[in-house]
């Protein structure tokens, strides 16, 4: 059985102290869970990389955040879809992630507040991602990406665009994504009790987002996509956390891609939990993961 790295353990111990008694967000009314997510993510949004430009804007009718790094090369841009179980988080909780991605990839990042479950289940969030994509300006070449549920929505959006015959992003950055709903996969069993994300929490997020009858739909669970759909995807960068119930999702997706003869970059980050990239201020593995994503992004979009 794998164990957290020393640095990950130090962060987990800190969280245990700071968050003692806060409760499980998936057992709260959604509005309370969102307020808790905003509060607890504040600690990760200090000491952020300084940007050349930061603006709060309205994009496709949604509140959005535009960040431009000092090392912007002027040609690329990334639409980033935040995670949070399709139900939590916002441009505010992921300000740090947006800035770190922008700096690592040497291009602007646009994040936005899509509609959240359970009040707005599938396909609402996906429809908002597609609206955000279609409203992008054409002054740059755009890629897409996201973490966790945001990775799910990013891949689902690309599958939908492919099915429409619409142009696809130049590339995609997919961090520890949700790609299926097999709660008996090896990692769901091995990491059922966490630390961090648990099997039970993930099952409740799924219940908020999409009923079982829809989970065989590729734009809900991208592992259900056909070989032809996956083969048509742009260059992908995928990573996964070792101590994550969702690890098997990424492993299954990578295996599908490899079987199709694709050579998409994939990194398994040992000793870390789901959501570790949100902890960039305190966790060296997170800083390294952003750097690695930027390295791959600049290579596959060159």
Task: Encode the chain (302 residues) as per-residue pLDDT tens digits.
Answer: 689 999 999 999 999 999 999 999 999 999 999 999 999 999 999 899 999 999 999 999 999 999 999 999 999 999 999 999 999 999 999 999 999 999 999 999 999 999 999 999 999 999 999 999 999 998 999 999 999 999 999 999 999 999 999 999 999 999 999 999 999 999 999 999 999 999 999 999 999 999 999 999 999 999 999 999 999 999 999 999 999 999 999 999 999 999 999 999 999 999 999 999 999 889 999 999 999 999 999 999 99
Task: State both tokens at 117.
Answer: 């479950």
CA angle 68, 74, 80 (to 5 degrees): 50
CATH number 3.40.50.1820 given to 6-300: yes
Based on the residue annotation, tell me whether 80 is a catalytic residue of this protein: no
Query: What is the rounded distance in angstroms from the CA atom of residue 46 to the CA atom of residue 99?
Result: 11
Are 269 and 239 within 8 A, CB to CB?
Answer: yes
Based on the residue annotation, tell me whether 274 is a catalytic residue of this protein: yes
Task: Could you list the beta-strand ranges (E) of 108-182.
Answer: 109-112, 141-147, 172-175
Sheet containing 51-59: give its strands across. Answer: 51-59, 62-69, 109-112, 76-81, 141-147, 172-175, 236-243, 265-273
Residue that the structure tokens 């619409």 belong to: 166
Query: What is the rounded distance in angstroms from the CA atom of residue 243 to the CA atom of residue 145?
Result: 22
DSSP three-state, residue 264: coil
Based on the residue annotation, tell me whether 148 is a catalytic residue of this protein: yes
Please pick, among 72, 128, 147, 244, the residue that the annotation labels catalytic.
244
Burial label, 180 (beta-carbon count in 10 A; 0-12, 13-18, 19+): buried
Please pick, among 148, 185, 187, 248, the residue that the annotation labels catalytic.
148
- Note the pTM of the prediction, 2 decimals: 0.98
């Amino acid at each position: 059985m794998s164990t957290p790295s020393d640095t990950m353990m130090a962060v987990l111990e800190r969280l245990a102290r700071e968050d003692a008694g806060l409760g499980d967000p998936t057992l709260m009314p959604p509005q309370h869970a969102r307020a808790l997510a905003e509060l607890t993510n504040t600690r990760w949004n200090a000491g952020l990389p300084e940007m050349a430009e930061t603006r709060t804007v309205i994009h496709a009718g949604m509140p959005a955040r535009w960040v431009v790094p000092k090392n912007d090369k002027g040609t690329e841009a990334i639409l980033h879809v935040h995670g949070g179980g399709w139900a939590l988080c916002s441009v505010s909780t992921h300000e740090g992630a947006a800035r770190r991605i922008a700096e690592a990839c040497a291009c602007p990042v646009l994040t936005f507040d899509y509609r959240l479950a359970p009040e707005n289940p599938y396909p609402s969030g996906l429809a908002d991602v597609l609206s955000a994509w279609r409203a992008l300006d054409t002054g740059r070449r755009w890629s897409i990406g996201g973490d966790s549920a945001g990775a799910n929505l990013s891949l689902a959006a690309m599958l939908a665009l492919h099915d429409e015959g619409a142009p696809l992003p130049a590339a995609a950055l997919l961090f520890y994504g949700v790609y299926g709903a097999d709660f008996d996969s090896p990692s769901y069993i091995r990491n059922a009790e966490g630390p961090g994300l648990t099997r039970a929490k993930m099952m409740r997020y799924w219940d908020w987002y999409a009923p079982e009858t829809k989970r065989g739909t590729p734009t809900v669970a991208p592992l259900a996509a056909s070989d032809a759909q996956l083969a048509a995807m742009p260059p992908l960068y995928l990573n996964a956390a070792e101590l994550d119930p969702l690890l098997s999702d990424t492993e299954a997706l990578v295996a599908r891609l490899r079987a199709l003869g694709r050579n998409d970059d994939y990194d398994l980050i040992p000793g870390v939990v789901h959501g570790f990239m949100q902890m960039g201020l305190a966790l060296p593995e997170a800083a390294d993961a952003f750097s690695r994503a930027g390295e791959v992004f600049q290579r596959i979009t060159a």
